[in-house]
Amino acid sequence: MVNAPIFLPVGVSIGIVAFLLSLLPAVFFLWMWYLRNRDRSLPAASIALAFAVGAIIVLPAFWLERGADSVWNIVSPQTAHYYAGASLPLLRIQDILLPAFATFLIVALVEEGLRYGAMRIWMRRSRTIDQVFDGLLIGVAIGLGFSTFENTLYFKDLLHGQDYDTLVFVFFLRFLISTLAHISFSGIMGVLIAQGTFHMFRSRSYMILAFLVPWFLHGLFDLLLGVGHGLYAVLVLIPALLTLVSWTFNRQLFIIHKKDGKFLAQEKTPESPMMHALEKALKVENSPWNIHASYLNENKSYRAIFNAMGSKRYE
């Protein structure tokens, strides 16, 4: 007897396809920032949890933004269209002021405020986050989770309306621009919150900057997109992204400040790759094989030391 095929409801099928589409950029950026690195400072469970937190934050963010939209329609219905961006050309001062109010004081304030609260509580209480670079990873993962769920909602609406031409354009737009924006803003916030968490004397300054910088960049980015100046929005995004990338090579961000959830009396400076390799070679030199049965392991330690020092030839 052949089992009858199972047909999913149209809404469920559209939701699954939309989620898979939105998951593609998340998988790509997770691989680039985390999965391809052999030396991972955070366990995969922490990254997965951060991704889930970012996705969950979308729900209260959308609820608050839609509530603000409803209030705007009640208070000033004649200007409600400014919530989604001004219509070009920009002829009056309110054509820029009202969209700025919507992007800075509603969208950016809500989204960055929720991310800020989640990351600040997490990093203060976490036992696994022990260096500033961990804050960058947590921030990027939260940004990816947020953008993935947000993209799912956008793609679901387009698929439901069978607007496939627009779907292709929006997919690449959100893959390249929106996802990178959330990564950049959230990653910068994560680094600054981690700096404020670990530094005793400038903690307040870092915490203030951790909210103000992503909030301003997010508001300006959305404003420029809303009024039809996408090129300028990309120009705002590029410095933020380059800053985040440059931080991944800053060894000061890898200094260990905690151990088992407790602050260290003296921070541990990260070892250089050369020193790490030499320590590994010395372990070979002092191994039981060399001490008690050197004839079985003759010259192995010397080869290890030469390899650690970058020697291409051993004689």
291 and 217 in a common domain: no
Which pLDDT value is given to residue 248? 84
Residues 164, 14: Cα–Cα separation, whole Å: 13
Mark whether 220 and 157 lie in a shared domain: yes
Could you give the C-alpha distances from 184 to 31, 53, 242, 257, 301, in angstroms and in order? 16, 17, 9, 24, 45
* Residue 258, token pair as written in the block: 């905690």
Q: In whole angstroms, what is the distance from residue 149 CA to residue 53 CA?
A: 11
Q: Does residue 315 lie in a domain region?
A: no
d(CA 67, CA 63): 6
- Judgement on whether residues 299 and 253 belong to the same structural domain of the protein: no
In terms of Cα–Cα distance, which of 220, 125, 141 is closest to 133? 141
d(CA 176, CA 185) in angstroms, rounded, equals 14
The number of CA neighbours under 13 Å toward the Cβ of 249 is 4
Report yes or no on 149 lying in a domain: yes
Core vs surface per residue 65-89: b (16+ CB within 10 A) or e = beebeeebeeeeeeebebbebbeee
Within 10 A of 101 (CB to CB), how many other CB atoms are there? 17
Contact (CB, 8 A) for 26 and 151: no
Question: Is residue 126 domain-shared with residue 92, that is, in the same domain?
Answer: yes
**Assigned domain for 268 exists:** no
How many other C-beta atoms lie within 10 A of the C-beta of residue 251? 11
Residue 313 lies in a domain: no
In a domain, 132, yes or no: yes
Give the integer Cα–Cα distance in Å for 281 and 301: 6
CA dihedral 211, 216, 217, 223 (to 10 degrees): 140
Q: Are 15 and 142 found together in one domain? A: yes
Q: What is the pLDDT of residue 117?
A: 97
Considering the domain architecture, whether residues 191 and 296 belong to the same structural domain is answered as no
Residue 1: inside a domain, yes or no?
A: no
Q: What is the pTM of this model?
A: 0.77
Q: Are residues 256 and 298 in the same domain?
A: no
Whether 190 and 298 share a structural domain: no
Tokens of 201: 């004397």
Tell me how far apart the alpha carbons of residues 193 and 213 are, in angstroms, rounded to a whole number.
Answer: 12
- HSE of 171, CA atoms in CB hemisphere, 13 A: 19
Is the peptide bond between 89 and the residue preceding it cis, with omega within 30 degrees of 0? Answer: yes
Residues 252 and 280 in one domain: no
Mutual angle of helices 132-160 and 164-173, in 10-degree steps: 170
**Does 5 fall in a domain?**
no
**Backbone phi, then psi, for 194, in 5-degree steps?**
-65, -40
pLDDT of residue 314: 41
**Angle at 255 (CA atoms; ends 251, 260), nearest 5 degrees:** 145
C-alpha–C-alpha distance, residues 144 and 276, integer Å: 32
* Domains contained in the chain, number: 2
In this structure, the answer to whether residues 63 and 175 fall within a common structural domain is yes
Q: What pLDDT score was predicted for residue 312?
A: 45
Helices (H), the chain: 10-30, 44-75, 94-102, 109-125, 132-160, 164-173, 179-198, 203-226, 230-247, 273-285, 288-292, 300-308
In a domain, residue 205? The reply is: yes
Looking at the fold, whether 304 and 200 belong to one and the same domain comes out as: no
- Give the rounded distance of the alpha carbon of 176 from its chain centre: 14
Residues 110 and 80 grouped into a single domain: yes
Asked whether the beta carbons of 137 and 47 are under 8 A apart, the reply is: yes
pLDDT by 10-residue block (mean), the chain, 315 residues: 52 56 68 67 88 94 91 78 58 77 92 97 91 92 90 70 59 72 94 92 93 97 84 91 88 82 74 61 62 56 57 44
Domain span at residue 186 reads 10-261
Based on C-alpha coordinates, what's the Rg of the chain? 25
Q: What is the pLDDT of residue 205?
A: 95
